[in-house]
Structure 1
Amino acid sequence: MQSFSEVCAMSEGKWLFLAGLGAGAALALRMSEKQISSVKGFAAKIANSESVTDARRVTAEKLNDVLRTQGAKLIDKLAENLKSQLNAGGGAAWAGFANAGGAGGNPPESSTTSTDKDGVTRDKDGHIIIDGKIVA
């Protein structure tokens, strides 16, 4: 169980935020249009400052790098899971597909597949075939 001081320390940030929000609202209600436009100009100046713009750019670059690497890893992992499920299921993996070449749980016949200029074998619907199984 947490002590009273631990609970107070956890919620101190929340209370400070709410106090700041209340003070800001009270000040905004008493400000004239000229003062409000002055505050907006000051906020815009800060938002468009060189240091904030640089920080925004660096953050965006780091986020893009992380998304690029983690996204590629996720796609690879999903592809491996799909391949293993298709390979493990054998004929059962084909049972849900109702196509002319795959009826009865068998992979499509060679007459319904073609190989493109990059050496990728596809069925008549454009699905990629590896070892007689649809992988994409």
Structure 2
Amino acid sequence: MPELLSLLFLCSYFVKGKKISDVVAYLCKHYDKYANQELVEYKVKDLLVAIALGMVPKTKWTGMDEANGGYVIVKKDGDIVCYHIYDRNRLKNYLYDNTKFDSPSSSRTGAGVIAVTGGRGVMKLTIQIRFS
């Protein structure tokens, strides 16, 4: 998953709008290793649900959901969408179709700065996934 996520983030720079579903399509078209788009979509949808239901940065993920029962989304127009835990596939599809990659300010996070470590140039990147 780390390689897949890093390639998706890289590909997001070549896709206008950085919408997750568009980035997955781009990745599958340009990388033979990830030509099976259904499998990539499955993995990405599972990641999005894990993030929505409790996965947080800097904490080892145990696979346990923090949200018990459901997930509530307030849309830009004020409409409320509720997904019960039994509607997991609908939640997966909603997140997949309505999220995008984003890059926070590099000055605030220190991301994007090249540093030399062990004789090699390295760069920290910060990935954000947010509603589109």
For the criterion TM > 0.5, the same-fold answer is no
Q: TM-score, normalised by structure 1?
A: 0.21
Higher helix share: 1
Larger radius of gyration between Structure 1 and Structure 2 = 1
Greater RCO (Cα-Cα under 8 Å, separation 6 or more)? 2
Q: TM-score, normalised by structure 2?
A: 0.21
